[in-house]
Amino acid sequence: MSSSEDEGGTGVPEWVVTYGDMMSLLLTFFIMLVSMSELKEDGRNRAMMDAIRRRFGPGAGLAGIFGRSLQSNSARTYIQSEGQRSEGGVKRRSRRARGPGGKNTTVRRIHHGTVVTLGGPAVFRRFDATLSEALKRQLDIIARVVASKPNRLIIRGHATPEVLPPDSPYRDPMDLSFARARNVARYFIARGIDPKRIYVS
């Protein structure tokens, strides 16, 4: 018999064995990476999980974020997480704390309000605070819409940080911004909006 017949039939090519070894090593490497990884921002993730739990209610079994903070779902866990959130322990402690005193000791946000944008961009002329005709048309639209509403109007002026020319009647860009906001407020008052509703900043 010849030596080739003793070796047996043809088998799998050698590169397949090498490829298989490499794939199994990569799989092992990534499994080790996942098992040893930790979440770095425990506080933010805990707050997110608490918000989801409040919205959808507690589930059965283990609930939490992956990593060392995986805890069983219990009343003790809920109480602990309440103390870590600002709505829970921090706010409650700040209300109970003896502060400087006075008639209004706490500050509460009543509502956020609504931002309404009407018309297109309306800009002032460079280094100027007088209202152009195009700007007055835009302000007329806004005045008609907000005249019947009880909301407060906050008017903020803006200017570029460029240095003003020497003959400018304004000291600096902040002074120019305030003059622009003041002129818009005066225009609204002339259009019948109650001055008590207008705040210039």
DSSP secondary structure string for all residues of 121-164: ---PPTT--SPPHHHHHHHHHHHHHHTT----EEE-----SSPP
What amino acid occupies position 128? Answer: D
Q: How confident is the model at residue 15 (pLDDT cuts 50, 70, 90)?
A: confident
> Taking the model in full, what pTM does it have?
0.43
For 4-40, letters b (16+ CB in 10 Å) and e give eeeeeeeeeeeeeeeeeeeeeeeeeeeeeeeeeeeee
Q: Which CATH class is domain 133-200?
A: alpha beta
CATH 3.30.1330.60 domain locations along the chain: 133-200
Both tokens of 45, joined, read: 């993730």
- pLDDT tens digits, one per residue of 126-167: 888 899 888 898 888 888 888 888 888 888 888 888 888 989
